[in-house]
Structures are given as structure tokens and as C-alpha cells.
Amino acid sequence: MQIKVMEEEATNSNIIRSNANWWKQLSTLTKRSFLNMNRDLGYYWLRAIFYLLTGITIGTLFFHIGTGNSSIMARGKCVSFVYGFMISMSCGGLPFFIVELKV
């Protein structure tokens, strides 16, 4: 009987409750995440540069494409390329995200 009471007290003492409300926790974690992203070159800045360069490249390639049947196919290919590129760039951020989860 005494052992059971002592185990319950030990279990209850290990639980730490936070007095901060949901918004305070959200703002604190968001600030920490943005600070971590700004410090890590590969997580934020290199990907932003790649997105910018890709946007400029695609914009110059498909600037005066026209409205004919062949241009519709070209637009479809462009959209497919952009979707594929965005998916590949988002997969590149997974290792940084996993490291951030461990913190």
C-alpha cells in the first residue's frame, strides 16, 4: 500500500505543468524557430536564393510564349517542372526540420 502511494507521488511530481497560455507558447516557439532558421544558412537562405533564381529563369523562358495550341502544352510542361522543383526543394529541408524537432 505504501509503495503504491509513493509511486503515485513520484509520478505526479515528475509532471511539470506550464502556466503559460497557448498563445504565449506559440509565440515563443515561433520566435525560436525563426531564430534557428535565420542562423542556419542551408535551411532558409540558400533555399530562398534557389527559389528566386528558378523564378527568374522560368519567367524569362516563358515570357512571350503566345496563346496557340503549342503554347498551352509549353505552359503545362512549365507548371509540371515548377511543381517538381518545389517538391524537391521541400524535401531538402527535412533534415533541418528533424534536427529542430530534437531541440
Structure confidence by residue, pLDDT tens digits, 31-86 = 988 887 777 776 677 778 888 888 898 888 878 888 888 888 888 888 888 888 87
Task: Give the alpha-carbon dihedral of 38, 44, 48, 50, to 10 degrees.
Answer: 140
The C-alpha cell 517542372 sits at 81
Predicted local confidence at residue 96, as pLDDT: 63
**Cell triple for 25:** 507558447
Please tell me the distance from the alpha carbon of residue 83 to that of residue 68, in angstroms, as a whole number. 23
Task: List, as one string, the DSSP characters of 32-75.
Answer: HHHHHHHH-IIIIIHHHHHHHHHHHHHHHHTSS--SSHHHHHHH
Predicted local confidence at residue 69, as pLDDT: 84
13 pLDDT band, cuts 50/70/90, is low
Please tell me the distance from the alpha carbon of residue 60 to that of residue 64, in angstroms, as a whole number. 9
Please tell me the distance from the alpha carbon of residue 45 to that of residue 11, in angstroms, as a whole number. 44
Q: What is the reported pTM? A: 0.47
Per-domain boundaries in the chain = 23-102
Q: 65 with 71: CB under 8 angstroms?
A: yes
